[in-house]
Amino acid sequence: MSRIVKSSPESFAEAVKILRAGGLVALPTETVYGLAADARNDEAVAKIFKAKGRPSHNPLIVHIFDPADLGKWAEANEMAKSLAKVFWPGPLTLVLPKVTDELSAIAGANLSTLAIRCPENKWSKAFKELGFNGPIVMPSANRSGHISPTRAQHVADDLGDQVDLIIDGGECDNGIESTILKIEKDRAVLLRPGVIPVEDFVPYISDLRLPEKAAQTSAPGMLKSHYAPKARVRLNAMERRSGEAYLAFGHTEVIADMNLSASADLAEAARNLYAALRSLDKVEVIAVAPIPPHGMGAAINDRLRRAAADRD
């Protein structure tokens, strides 16, 4: 089993040593726990794909420690720069043309674009002070296709001894992944709904679109089945059937096993979603109450649809 240590200057220093040596470290972020490796080290990046059982065509997000470093790795037009200025550090990933071959080609699934973000966290400043400036690649620290981890123990449960160190920063603030936008000249394509609702982008993007159904996997979270428990998931459930666990939202007359948010708070529901699915994953079917589609509800419904999708 991987070693779990509390977030501290000492654990950050140990994490830097491991990353420099080509190892894997699980780190807490504002979204979910990530599995980090040096983005320039092919062998280290390959370990991520092996540990997660991740398909090689599914690219990884590059994480930088300073928004000012965006131009070192990607070609950012004025729209991209504006979005980064407003939303970084934070849960926004931008897909942009890459400008260097310095990063591992494995990480980018040999695409000409790069998925990149600057996360909000407690460790990047310490890493820089220790002389490690990244970047790192960092997908969610779980088995590929399984429920993302929002607590350190979730990482240990999923990945066992395949991680050299897990830094415990407590429960993640947001609980679901970043919003992903692909920037194409004067328009943006929403590749993955996330923490930041699309409504928040209106002042900065005049042309925001959805991807074509047959679009290439140019960013994480686009696979049909993803974020899935072992149990089958039944959506928009208004009643509880025999043998099911019921996951409620807001006020309900149904006897519920858990409630994502008794007050119908979408941010609270997002924060609780993955932990609730993990907790209820002891039955054959998890029935989930309807979730409003607006605001963070769009991201919650996206995760639930993928959790409920047919699995190959």
- pLDDT value of residue 57: 87
Query: Residue 130 pLDDT > 50, yes or no?
Result: yes
Question: Same domain, yes or no, for 54 and 174?
Answer: yes
Give yes or no for residue 227 having a pLDDT over 90: no
pLDDT at 213: 63
For residue 72, pLDDT beyond 70: yes
Q: Which residue has the tokens 């959790």?
A: 307
Please report, as a single letter, which amino acid is at residue 277: L
In a domain, 289, yes or no: yes
Give first-to-last CA distance, the chain, whole Å: 29
Question: Is residue 244 domain-shared with residue 201, that is, in the same domain?
Answer: no
Pairing outcome for strands 62-63 and 136-137: antiparallel
> Cα-flanking dihedrals φ and ψ of residue 234, to 5°?
-110, 125
Tell me the residue range of the domain where 237 lies. 232-308
Pair type for strands 25-27 and 165-168: parallel
Which of 175-179, 201-205, 207-211 reaches the highest mean pLDDT?
175-179
pTM: 0.94
User: What pLDDT score does 224 carry?
Assistant: 58
**In terms of domains, do 278 and 199 share one?**
no
Task: Assign 211 a pLDDT band (cuts: 50, 70, 90).
Answer: confident
pLDDT score, position 99: 95
Residues 158, 138: Cα–Cα separation, whole Å: 16
pLDDT reading at 127 higher than 60: yes
d(CA 206, CA 186): 8
Q: What is the mean pLDDT of the chain?
A: 94
Instruction: Return the pLDDT at 124.
Output: 94
- Of the listed ranges 71-75, 111-115, 207-211, the least confidently predicted one is 207-211
Could you list the beta-strand ranges (E) of 61-109.
62-63, 92-97
In a shared domain, residues 73 and 169: yes
Q: Has residue 240 got a pLDDT over 50?
A: yes
For residue 221, the model assigns a pLDDT of 52
Q: Which of 71, 64, 131 is nearest to 92 (CA)?
A: 64
**What is the predicted pLDDT for the residue at 219?**
60
| H or E segment to which residue 166 belongs | strand 165-168
CATH number, domain with residue 173: 3.90.870.10
Split into its structural domains, the chain has a count of: 2
What is the Cα–Cα distance from 293 to 301, expressed in whole angstroms?
7
Q: Do 146 and 292 fall within a single domain?
A: no
Q: Are 168 and 152 in contact (CB under 8 A)?
A: yes
In the prediction, which pLDDT does 214 show? 47
Average pLDDT of the segment spanning 66-95:
97
What average pLDDT does range 23-31 have in this prediction? Answer: 98
Of the three residues 209, 244, 270, the one that is the final residue of a domain is 209
Is residue 91 included in any domain, yes or no?
yes
Same domain, 172 and 250: no
196 plus 247 within the same structural domain: no
Write out the two tokens for 176: 């679901």
Give the residue-averaged pLDDT of 93-97. Answer: 97
Q: Based on the fold, state whether residues 161 and 304 are members of the same structural domain.
A: no
Both 205 and 279 in one domain: the answer is no
Identify which of 234, 253, 236 has the alpha carbon closest to the alpha carbon of residue 244: 234
Q: What is the pLDDT of residue 223?
A: 54
Task: Please provide residue 6's backbone torsions phi and psi, each rounded to the nearest 5 degrees.
Answer: -70, 150
pLDDT for 247: 99
Question: Are 9 and 158 within one domain?
Answer: yes
pLDDT of residue 147: 96
